[in-house]
Structure 1
Amino acid sequence: MKVTIFSAVVAFLIVLLLGPIVIPALRRFKFGQSIREEGPKSHQVKAGTPTMGGVMFIISLLITSIVVYQNITGPLAVALITTVGYGIIGLLDDSLKIIRRKNLGLRAYQKLIGQVTFALILTVFAYNNIGSDIHIPFTSSFIDLGWFYIPFMVFVIVGATNSVNLTDGLDGLASGVTLIICVFFAVVTFGLGKGDLSVFCGAIAGALLGFLKYNSYPAKVFMGDTGSLALGGAISALAVLLKMPFILLIVGLVYVIEVLSVIIQVTSFKLTGKRVFKMSPIHHHFEYIGWHETKIVSMFCIITAICCLIGFLAISF
């Protein structure tokens, strides 16, 4: 556990040091966020806020992993590849948004191709090295998915990654929720004796804690798709490598609610012409009914903390 805590401290300090360097550079190169015109009016003042801040915790994660756990092979290596790979997809998406000066980057199919590619790398590694069985929550049982493991896990990874991306809509929301989930996985990986993945979790948690100094309300920088997709990749990698995709549904309930709100909204509008929520994802709905950003973020973080406690109960092996 000492090594995990040390990795968190190192990552935290690196992000704190990168902030005064990266944020002014992003502002200087006019890497500012474009805001959806149909979004809450209160968000229009955020237009131009530096984005792509996710590069800070990606760099921190890489440096920390190399410094603390020099033998980067196996699960740690594939977890880093997945995280950085999804981060690169997000970086390309953010770059196109900046170039076009619109909240429109890569086309959906282009992002999907990249996401499926890195999901396959992670899934095939897991299939060949740790098996095709997954844990059933609240039991000590595992179920072997056989050949179905690969398409199932690819679906989980892509779905989870995009859910994290949808959650990144308020200052400190995605970073705060994911920080709590990473602490959960840090404890789990330590308990299972997986020191490399424990360092990975500690590094992400520490980096996000440092990032919150700049990303909490009012945000001085946004993580952008660079950061949200990278975080989605990291969380997905942990769920796959620990054989816990169903546990991710529990601890990541906020992610699930966010993506379901979009699905419900779109489906309802196409079938009936009516909207269920004032706006989706659901965090914007709460804004429209008068909740302040900080209240919404606090509520979602509390829900995540409670879900993580339930997650500990669900792991009984």
Structure 2
Amino acid sequence: MPVELYHLIAFLLSVTVVLWTIPDVKTVGLKFGIVDRPNARKIHQSPVVRVGGVSIFIGTIVALLIVWRLGGFSQISPHSEGELWGLVLGSILYFVIGLADDLFNLSPISRLLMQITVAAGCWWMGVRIEFLSVPLDGLIQIGWLSLPITVIWLVGMANAINWIDGVDGLAAGVSGIAAVVMLVVTLFMDQPAAALIAAALAGSALGFLRYNFNPAQIFMGDGGAYFMGFTLAGVGVIGLVKSTAVTAVLLPYLILAVPILDMSAVIFSRLSKGKSPFVADKSHLHHWLLKAGISQRLTVLFIYALTLWVGSLAMGFSNIPSGWGYAVGATLLLAYIGWQVWRNTKKQS
């Protein structure tokens, strides 16, 4: 079977499973009262089931298991199944941590400690950042710093996706766009194993939007956000950062620049005000856009366009055929939506 066909199968299977399971997950969530209730910090006006991440998780894992049973793993990556399974196992455990938080409201410190432990275990299984790109000096091997840098990256991205999950469809859409870009780039970089996971995750994230886009019928919760954030970060590590090409090492940080910069700005804002970075507030980009009078849908579309734009830049730097053409198109799209945002802001002032 052609390798690319496994990626298509994974994508279609994950979409199908997510769409098939969400109604049942929603029913169970309502029955047991597992809902996100409105409060001063929340935007929604009525209780919404908050464990939609169960469908994202099931869709991704079922797709990967079926491809594995079809022999896809051994054909795609016969020499790197260890790190592949390390990433899958880590993703499963991150989902469990998030689901436990959705159900039992874990403390920030306990969540963080569990996340660090799992990330360190994944490093031991081969999911490692071993190079960093230094301006004017190319790539350097980081030796013992590999462990803390890898852990910071994996834990940080899981939380970055969770932190942007504050508007209907935002985290799922940003993750879906990033996963599609990673799928394209990893395939072009001849990293089919990483591309396979990206394909399954992209299908789950985009399928979830059917029920999560404004007005959302279900939320992914911490389980879904941690799962997607960790998986995206892991795909970047095993598919791109392991390469010795300078541009490849930088690509994951560019593809995921929007949630990275949003989280960094929020942490800086909270610390500058003498607040704990773990205490939620309304200092995210989507909160500022909403305060300016921008609708939820336009806010989400603008951040989608930003994510697509940085992703298109990554495709351009990867020397993908027509990559810079896609970047031009994404720039025009971002400019148009940005103009719509500016126009709506003027109407509100």
Task: Flag whether TM exceeds 0.5 (same fold).
Answer: yes
* 2:290 counterpart (269, 287, 290): 287
Match of 1:201 among 198, 202, 209: 198
Structure 2 counterpart of 1:247: 251
More off after superposition, 109-118 vs 183-192? 183-192
- Of 35, 38, 41 in structure 1, the residue corresponding to residue 40 of structure 2 is 38
Distance 1:138 1:60, change over 3 A: farther
Q: Which of 10, 23, 38 pairs up with 1:7?
A: 10
The answer for unaligned runs of 5 or more in structure 2 is 74-80, 242-248, 276-280, 321-349
* Deviation (angstroms), 1:243: 4.4
The code of the aligned residue for 2:286 comes to: H
1:266 and 2:270 equivalent?
Answer: yes
Match of 2:331 in 1: none
Amino acid at match of 2:23: P
The TM-score with structure 2 as length reference comes to 0.79
Describe the shift of the 1:160–1:246 C-alpha distance in structure 2 as closer, same or farther (beyond 3 A): farther
Distance across 2 between alignment mates of 1:305 and 1:132: 25
1:309 aligns with 2:306: no
The CA distance in 2 between the partners of 1:142 and 1:178, in whole Å, is 28
**Are the equivalent residues in 2 in contact too, given 1:171–1:216 (CA < 8 A)?**
yes
> What CA distance in whole angstroms lies between the structure 2 residues aligned with 1:257 and 1:300?
12
| 2:303 equivalent in structure 1 | 300
2:129 equivalent to 1:126:
no
Judging changes above 3 Å, is the alpha-carbon distance between structure 1 residues 312 and 141 closer, same or farther for their aligned structure 2 residues?
farther
Verify: 1:169 aligned to 2:166, yes or no. Answer: yes
Please tell me the residue identity of whatever aligns with 1:69: W
Asked if structure 1 preserves the Cα contact closer than 8 Å seen for 2:129 and 2:237, the reply is: no
SS of 1:65's equivalent in the other structure is: helix
Per-residue deviation at 1:181?
0.6
Report what 1:102 is aligned to: none
SS of 1:180 mapped into structure 2:
helix
Call closer, same or farther: CA 1:57–1:139 in 2, change over 3 Å: farther
Residue correspondences, number: 296
8 Å Cα contact 1:85-1:118 kept in structure 2: yes
Q: Look up the equivalent residue of 1:50 and give its one-letter code.
A: V
Residue 261 of structure 1 deviates from its aligned partner by 2.9
Q: In structure 2, do the counterparts of structure 1 residues 132 and 172 end up closer, same or farther at CA, with 3 Å as the change threshold?
A: closer
Deviations 1:115-146 (A, max 9, x none): 1011112222227xxx7633639999532111
Match of 1:55 in 2: 54
Matches within 5 A, 1:29-178: 29-35=32-38, 37-39=39-41, 43-46=43-46, 48-70=47-69, 73-96=81-104, 105-126=105-126, 133-134=130-131, 136=133, 141-178=138-175
Deviations 1:173-195 (A, max 9, x none): 00000101101111122223333
Task: Say if 1:214 and 1:132 are closer, same or farther in 2 by CA, change over 3 A.
Answer: closer
Residue of structure 1 equivalent to 2:184: 187
Relative to the length of structure 1, the TM-score reads 0.86
Q: In structure 1, list runs of 5 or more residues that go unmatched.
A: 97-104, 272-277
Q: Is the 8 A contact 2:53 2:223 kept in 1?
A: yes
Structure-2 separation of matches of 1:22 and 1:139: 51
Q: Percent identity?
A: 25
Contact 1:132 1:146 (8 Å CA) reproduced = no
Larger RCO (CA under 8 A, 6+ residues apart): 1
Aligned to 2:29: 26
- Match of 2:140, SS? strand
RMSD: 2.4
Q: Structure 1 residues 51 and 193, CA, compared in 2 at 3 Å: closer, same or farther?
A: same
Q: Find the counterpart in structure 2 of residue 274 from structure 1.
A: none
Q: Secondary structure at the match of 1:136?
A: strand
